[in-house]
Amino acid sequence: MFKGSITALVTPFKNNKLDEDSYEKFIEFQISNGTNGIVPGGTTGESPTLEYFEHKKIIEIAVKVSNGRIPVIAGTGSNSTKEAIELTKFAENAKADAALIVTPYYNKPTQEGLYQHYKAINDNCGIPIIIYNIPGRSVVDMSVDTMARLFELKNIVGVKDATGDLDRATAQKNKMGDEFIMLTGNDENAYEFNKRGGVGCISVSSNVAPKMCSEFQKFSNNGNDIEAKKLFDQLLELHHVMFVESNPVPAKYSLSLLKLMEEDVRLPLVTATEDSKNKIRNILKKTSII
């Protein structure tokens, strides 16, 4: 159920307010271009600066608009265990298909603290949980052994691995087996990650190139290595330019060029510099996105 090209949705703003109309249209754009799943309320969706009611609203909108056509994996993580439980229970009641829960940032919990954090969420909800391991942002790195302990719990089903370490994918596969869902959080390693047991990507680039990203994942998961590698190579410069400034700044500028939303982001993020915009436009033209 959770595989292929899964878009970590940006959150459109207009005049610093949630642009619900653009968000609904954007989700339709994703579905019509073959995206296999969507994640509202993740880091790419600027979750750190969303008001609590906005965070809930985008989950509700994603569930309503998708209407069962593709899975909705709601971003419900927090460095407060209580808040993560509340938001995950809300997502469950809103009929999201799963929750994506980031390792607690800033607190720097031990491996036992990580285990107890996820166990508390697991014990208070009935929705599948995907661990989001991203030490580059959260400062803590969940070990393979801790992940294996969590996989024994009823709701823990897999990981979004944003470590950038391909050997980690191999270790997780060997430890947890085929039933453990492995999704990369790094577009630029998606080709090799799938070869090591991954089944998809929670993607930033698919905001901008959903059809190409979904086609790549289809070829990759169907064993059509030649076509998968061809598409991956075409996408590689896009993957890199999506991080020429802080995510989701490049993605939002790209989507403004596609007339799908404003480029607005919330402080402390700011819109892209002219130099970055030139780089982004050049790659979008090169890949025939604009």
Residue 126 forms part of a structural domain = yes
Does residue 271 belong to any structural domain of this protein?
Answer: no
Domain presence at residue 277? no
In a domain, 268, yes or no: no
CA max distance for the chain: 49
Which stretches within the chain are classed as H helix? 20-32, 52-66, 81-93, 111-123, 135-138, 144-151, 166-176, 190-195, 210-221, 225-241, 249-257, 274-286
Q: Report the alpha-carbon distance of residue 250 to residue 77 in Å, rounded.
A: 24
Task: Tell me if 62 is assigned to some domain.
Answer: yes
3 state SS of 67: coil
In a domain, 164, yes or no: yes
Predicted pLDDT at 59: 98
DSSP-derived 3-state class of residue 127: coil
Residue of 162, 216, 159, 252 whose CA lies nearest to 35: 216
Any domain includes 270: no
285 lies in some domain: no
Query: Which range marks the domain in which residue 138 is found?
Result: 4-224
Catalytically annotated residues:
132, 160
Q: How far apart are CA 88 and CA 124, in angstroms?
A: 9
pTM, entire model: 0.98
Please count the structural domains in the chain: 1
pLDDT for 178 equals: 95
In angstroms, the CA 68 to CA 287 distance is: 31
Q: Which residues of the chain have pLDDT under 50?
A: none
pLDDT attached to residue 1: 86
The CATH code of the domain that includes 217 is 3.20.20.70
